[in-house]
Every structure is written in C-alpha cells, then in structure tokens.
Structure 1
C-alpha cells in the first residue's frame, strides 16, 4: 500500500532507492479510480461517478473524492460543522437527506483548499458507513473500495509451522498457505483439520476485509480456560484469497507461532 507501512508515500518510505522524493513528510497524491462507483441512501442514488479520484495521504487509507457534478446536490444540506487539516485546509460538511432519512455530516469537501492541494476544489468525500450501499461497477463492496495498489497473493508452502499455548502444541503442520498482502506481514493459514475439533469454539466476533472477505473468529479451549479470538478464518473468501478457505490463521499474545523453528519474519 502506498501510504502505510514502508510504502513510498508513507511516513517511513524505503531507503534503498535510486531516486529522491522531495516534499513534506506528510504527502498527498490524487489519482483516478479506474471504475464506476455508486452509493445509495434510502433507495436513492446519491452519487454515480466514472471520474472518482482516490486521495492517497501518508498514514491513512486512500479516500474516494467525487466530482460535485456526479453528486445529487439537491440532497446535500450544508451544516455548521467544520474541521481543519494542516495539509488540505478547512473542510465544510453536508448532511444527506432522503425522505425521513438523514446522514448527518456524512459529506465533506474543501471549497478553498490549501495552495498545495488546489485540485481538491470541486470534489467531495463521503463517510462510507453512513450510506446504505456502495457499488464498484455492479458489484456491491463493503468496508471501503479496493485500492488498485494493494494485492493479495496466496501460495502453498512446506514451511514447518507450530502454534503453542504455553508448552502445549495446538497445531503443527508442514502444509500451510502463505497469504501476502501489500503493506502487511505474511500470515500463515493452517489446515483446519490439523487442529483438534475439541480445541476451538466459534466466537461472535466478525470483521470484514475488502480484499479477503468476512472473517469468522475462533476461541481456544485450554483445560477450563477459554482464550477468546485466537484465530480467524474466511468461510467464503473473495477471489484473491480463495485458497485460504478451510484454513485458520492464528495470532494472539497468549500464543507462540513458529515457522521452521523461529518466529515468523
């Protein structure tokens, strides 16, 4: 990912390069999103754009900005709320009203952006979770748009993986799947049948990843103790993560995870 970890627009970019990026430590970059995006509230399409722009900003996830000509401005009502960003300027806010539905301060923009970000004028951004549904072309998407600069790869491995709770080996396998996701450490997904069925209990916790799908969490039974949310799985992963179906990824401060006898890099 460009803006997080050690990405080129992050606060800690890679040092082994043969180029120099001049400018502030906090960087902004606006670039076109390559597909049509729509969003709906109360049955009304409040934005429909083929010219959306992703704003990349150091230490933040990319944010979609929509040209005002592609927004139902008749549904937007200005409010007194304002915020200040030292890099972009003073933001104005709008509430969306559709019938008896109101999404308060759900939209913001920079009518008079800072000189270094004049290209923000004429665009507005939306809080994702304050609208009912978002569509990337005709596919409904959740969480946020998938960043074109982020990818997920899953490959088979023969690394010897052990997961321990204290001195007890919870799972041991030499057939993990390695999931690599831009800007994040590798994660080892282990075959579910390598874990004793009596050790894991399904948790109520669930999260959504725009790149992998909706996760199911699992708690670990060790004697009389239940350690919550020690592992997660994707029961119906999205396309790029399809090969981790039927696998579990363990991560918890009560566990030790070894890859070929050492902690994973």
Structure 2
C-alpha cells in the first residue's frame, strides 16, 4: 500500500527561498525549440515575490544551448551567482537562465518567462495544457460561483451596472471579483481599449475604459472571452476593479480594498 502525506511540506533554504517538488510534466520552448522537458520540476518561491517559478534538473534541460552570461544580471533572483545566455543559433537571449545559490537546489536551472518579463522562453506547458505568465501556485484557489446576489456598480456616482445574476470569483489573497452579464452593464458608457492581459488561472482578458475618462482609471472593465476550464462560468461576463469603483452587494456598500493594483490604478486616475 502506498501512503501519501496529509499535506506536502514546503521546504525553506537559508537564503529565504521556499520550494517543493511538483509531479507535473513541464515543457518549455523558445519558438519551435524545446529547451526544457522535465518530469521532475521544482516550484520555487523567492522572498517577497508572491508567485512561484519552476527550476529543473540539469539533465532535463538543453544545456548545450546555454552559455555563461556575458553580462550577468547581478542582484536578481535571490543572490544567484551563475547566469546563462540562451544561444539558439540566430538568436541570443541574455540572462535567460540562472541557478539559485541554495544547496537544496544545486543541480537545478530556472528560466525566465517571456510573457512575464519580456524575455526568456515563450511557450510553457503543464502536461498538454499551455500555461502563461508563471506556474499556478498549488496553494492558491480560484473558484467561480454563480450567485443571485444583487450587485450594483457606480463610477463617480453614476450607476454603470446592476444585476441579480452575477458570478462571484473567489481568488486567494485578492478581493472577491463580481462578474456581471453584459446585458446588465451600461456598455454605452465604455469603450474598448485594445489592452490585453494574461492570467495563469483565468486566461486572456480584454479591457474597456470609461468614456468619461477622468472619473476612473484606464482599463477599469474587463472580460475573459475564452477562459480556462476551471473558471468557465465567467466566460464573456464583465468585472470591475473593486479598488476604483463603488460596489454595493445586497444593499451593503463595500469598502474599496487595498491590493497590489491599488497604487497603479490611483496613478492612472490622476493623469
């Protein structure tokens, strides 16, 4: 009989890194070149960085494509001392890979994600599913639940959405987001912006800004036209940043939360 522990231990290194093995089969490419093909990846959390990265055993990495970095990116990635450039023949990606100084992670190499920092490997897969931005944190939940709550949204005193059929999205460490059917949003008050973002838990989002301009930050409204299966109920629904609008739920006005988005939204509003 195989016995599984009740919970998997996250390990800590003297350098302040947290890490744990993953059972997922992970592959990563640059263009059409597979650089990583690993069945023994490790998730690593750096201090003060809320999302994890993957590191891989050297034998599961195309080391023949790595060269000692010409201009090492010192001061990044928790004291890492060894950086590599990725040489793809006609393309050289500087500081695309590195090793962590922790003894626990000796023999492992990590790579940058292009969709996160604008350089590095640009296609990542867990099993047969493409993933984006960064690995999904196994200690984080994202649940989309249909509701009959009465949700009203106002921007600078103007009612812009009113629904009794929202989908509530509960995401660890973030405020509840209220996804509203398009028919219940005053879309005449908004204009599409062409802005897009990617989320490893939800997919790719499209954005709208308020036509009034100064009353709200840009890209205040968004939607996922083709969300990942785990959050399928939010498909084509629309949500607002709680941090920058006034939301009333069942007659109770919610306080605007302070989140990692608050400062950027505030600066956009002042422009």
Give the TM-score of the pair, scaled to structure 2: 0.79
8 Å CA contact 1:177–1:188 kept in 2: the answer is: yes
**Which residue of structure 1 aligns with residue 41 of structure 2?**
52
Query: Where in structure 2 are the equivalents of 1:1-265 lying within 5 Å?
Result: 27-60=16-49, 61-80=51-70, 81=72, 83-84=74-75, 89-110=79-100, 113=101, 117-129=102-114, 130-222=120-212, 228-251=218-241, 255-260=245-250, 261-263=252-254
Partner in structure 2 of residue 4 of structure 1: none
Query: In structure 2, do the counterparts of structure 1 residues 198 and 259 end up closer, same or farther at CA, with 3 Å as the change threshold?
Result: same
Q: CA RMSD in A?
A: 2.9
CA-to-aligned-CA distance 1:18-56 (integer Å, 9 cap, x gap): xxxx998x8432211221111112432111110110012
Query: Which whole-Å CA distance do the structure 1 matches of 2:36 and 2:233 have between them?
Result: 35
Corresponding residue pairs, total: 240
Once the two structures are TM-superposed, the CA of residue 146 in structure 1 deviates from its matched residue by: 1.8
Q: 1:220 to 1:33 in 2, by over 3 A?
A: same
Aligned partner of residue 51 in structure 1, secondary structure? coil
Distance of 2:127 and 2:253 partners within structure 1? 44
Unaligned runs of 5+ in 2: 1-9, 115-119, 258-271
5+ residue gaps, structure 1, are 1-8, 10-21
Equivalent position SS for 1:69: helix
Shift of 1:82: 5.0
Distance apart, 1:109 and its partner CA: 0.6
* 1:54–1:63 contact (8 Å) kept in structure 2: yes
Q: Which position in structure 1 is the counterpart of 2:263? A: none
Q: Is the 1:31–1:53 Cα contact (8 Å) retained in structure 2?
A: yes
Matches of 2:92 and 2:28, distance apart in 1: 15
246-255 vs 98-107, which deviates more? 246-255
Q: Does the 8 Å contact 1:42/1:99 carry over to 2?
A: no
SS in 2 for 1:219: strand
Shift of 1:252: 6.6
The residue matched to 1:228 in structure 2 has which SS? coil
Residues 57 and 253 of structure 1: CA distance in aligned 2, closer, same or farther (over 3 Å): closer
CA change 1:196–1:32 in 2 (3 A) is same
Higher strand share: 1
Q: Which range moved further: 74-83 or 64-73?
A: 74-83
SS at match of 2:211: strand
Distance 1:240 1:40, change over 3 A: same
